[in-house]
Amino acid sequence: MTPIDAKRPLQLNDQGQLRHFLSLDGLPRELLTEILDTADSFLEVGARAVKKVPLLRGKTVCNVFFENSTRTRTTFELAAQRLSADVITLNVSTSSTSKGETLFDTLRNLEAMAADMFVVRHADSGAAHFIAEHVCPEVAIINGGDGRHAHPTQGMLDMLTIRRHKGSFENLSVAIVGDILHSRVARSNMLALKTLGCPDIRVIGPKTLLPVGIEQYGVKVYTDLEQGLKDVDVVIMLRLQRERMQGGLLPSEGEFYRLFGLTTARLAGAKPDAIVMHPGPINRGVEIESAVADGAHSVILNQVTYGIAVRMAVLSMAMSGQTAQRQFEQENAQ
């Protein structure tokens, strides 16, 4: 089964520009490249003494986080500020009341305060789609991570990292290692790599952490780390959550590290100039050895920097696409 791009009309406007950014599913290669090019141009902004451009002046961006986050939330805040937007951040606890009601009512209230854009993180897969489709279609919705489903800005910042270090995707071997099953980052990365033309995408992990039907992403599955890492250009490590030891997915952190932890010795099987990535926060000694995380191959901190540029690109593109769509619809209505 190939993924169906039924979401496409939802996140694109009539001209095929972004109006929401919910998932990388169904987005064409040209659009992903445009995001990367735009992000590249914003990287210069971050290097300047005055780090602001006026693209979102007068606009209000609301970060609504129903799940804890430090890195993603902060980089979204910085990205919006550097675009000169007004930024509000809300950390909404999901425990107090029924999740759906909180989500619906919270966003409806924020919409009434004339927010122009929502960055939403939520524990339920599909939350961002739900908001874009049923809650406030007139507001640009940026998915900051929904359940296990998608983390498209992380996916794009990973792509920017790869492109800046490797130039292009056409001849690369990329390995994604660890807990694929629960990872929205892995899903977004697999989609992005495939769309951008990466010919060799590998996923490595025990069967308990690999989703059924993962072949649909066009990836090769390895259950042995050394085999999977052989001659790869890029290694993307995933965070292993502590709670995976419950429910029988894994016996222990120690055994996981022994089999799937990225050590200097194991990394030696990859290409000599391989880069090591991780969406963070890293668990030293669980999925990655400190010497690797801090070593010469690691680009983990570069990812954070690129994350701001990618989020600036996505925020500005979605705002422009949403504004264009609203103008188009108003003209049509008249």
Partner 1 sequence: MTLSILGARIIDPASGLDQVSDLHIDAGKIVAIGAAPAGFHAARSLNAEGLVAAPGLVDLSVALREPGYSRKGTIASETRAAAAGGVTSLCCPPRTKPILDTSAVAELILDRAREAGHAKVFPIGALSKGLEGEQLAELIALRDAGCVAFGNGLSGFSNTRTLCRALEYAATFDLTVMFHSQDRDLAHGGLAHEGAMASFLGLPGIPETAETVALARDLLLVEQTGVRAHFSQLTSARGVELIAQAQARGLPVTADVALYQLILTDEALVDFSSLYHVQPPLRTRTDRDGLREAVKAGVIQAISSHHQPHERDAKLAPFGATEPGISSVELLLPLALTLVDDGLLDLPTLLKRLSSGPAHALRLPVGELKVGAAADLVVFDPQASTVAGEQWRSKGENCPFIGHCLPGAVRYTLVDGHISHEA
Count residues near partner 1 (CB under 8 A).
34
Amino acid letter for position 299: V
In 3D space, the residue among 279, 15, 9, 325 whose CA is nearest the CA of residue 157 turns out to be 279
Tell me how far, at minimum, the Cβ of 5 lies from partner 1, in Å.
9
Tell me how far, at minimum, the Cβ of 107 lies from partner 1, in Å.
11
In 3D space, the residue among 146, 193, 204 whose CA is nearest the CA of residue 169 turns out to be 193
Confirm or reject binding of residue 248 to partner 1 (CB under 8 A).
no
Tell me how far, at minimum, the Cβ of 189 lies from partner 1, in Å.
13
Q: Is the dihedral of CA 5, 310, 30, 332 positive or negative?
A: positive
Binders in 19-78 for partner 1, by CB under 8 A: 25
Confirm or reject binding of residue 1 to partner 1 (CB under 8 A).
yes
In 3D space, the residue among 312, 277, 317 whose CA is nearest the CA of residue 297 turns out to be 277
Candidates 93, 216, 227, 290; binder of partner 1 (CB under 8 A) is 216
Tell me how far, at minimum, the Cβ of 302 lies from partner 1, in Å.
27
Q: Is the dihedral of CA 152, 158, 161, 166 positive or negative?
A: negative
What are the φ/ψ torsions at residue 68 (nearest 5 degrees)?
-65, 145
The dihedral over CA atoms of 16, 18, 22, 23, expressed in degrees to the nearest 10, equals 60
The dihedral over CA atoms of 42, 44, 45, 51, expressed in degrees to the nearest 10, equals 150
Confirm or reject binding of residue 212 to partner 1 (CB under 8 A).
yes
Stretch that binds partner 1, among 72-80, 96-104, 219-227, 269-277 (CB under 8 A): 96-104
Reading the block at residue 76, the tokens are 């979204």
DSSP 270-333: S-TT-EEE--S---BTTTB-HHHHTSTTB-HHHHHHHHHHHHHHHHHHHHHHHHHHHHHHHHHH
Binders in 6-25 for partner 1, by CB under 8 A: 6-7, 10, 25
Is the Cβ of residue 104 or residue 164 nearer to partner 1 in the bound state? 104
Candidates 48, 52, 134, 258; binder of partner 1 (CB under 8 A) is 134
The answer for residues whose C-beta is within 8 angstroms of residue 26's C-beta and 6 or more apart is 3, 5, 6, 7, 8, 11
Candidates 36, 115, 140, 150; binder of partner 1 (CB under 8 A) is 150
Q: Is 137 exposed, middle or buried (0-12, 13-18, 19+ CB in 10 A)?
A: middle
Stretch that binds partner 1, among 43-51, 148-156, 167-175, 298-306 (CB under 8 A): 148-156
Confirm or reject binding of residue 304 to partner 1 (CB under 8 A).
no
Q: Is the dihedral of CA 191, 195, 311, 10 positive or negative?
A: negative
Tell me how far, at minimum, the Cβ of 269 lies from partner 1, in Å.
28
Confirm or reject binding of residue 141 to partner 1 (CB under 8 A).
no
Stretch that binds partner 1, among 28-36, 46-54, 98-106, 309-317 (CB under 8 A): 98-106
Tally of CA atoms within 13 A in the half-sphere of 305 that contains its CB: 12
Is the Cβ of residue 64 or residue 262 nearer to partner 1 in the bound state? 64
Candidates 16, 28, 100, 295; binder of partner 1 (CB under 8 A) is 100
CB 126 within 8 A of CB 133: no
Tell me how far, at minimum, the Cβ of 183 lies from partner 1, in Å.
9
Stretch that binds partner 1, among 52-60, 70-78, 125-133, 196-204 (CB under 8 A): 125-133
Tell me how far, at minimum, the Cβ of 99 lies from partner 1, in Å.
4
Residues lying near partner 1 in the complex (CB under 8 A) are found at 1, 3-4, 6-7, 10, 25, 98-101, 103-104, 122, 124-127, 129-130, 133-134, 146-150, 184, 187, 211-214, 216
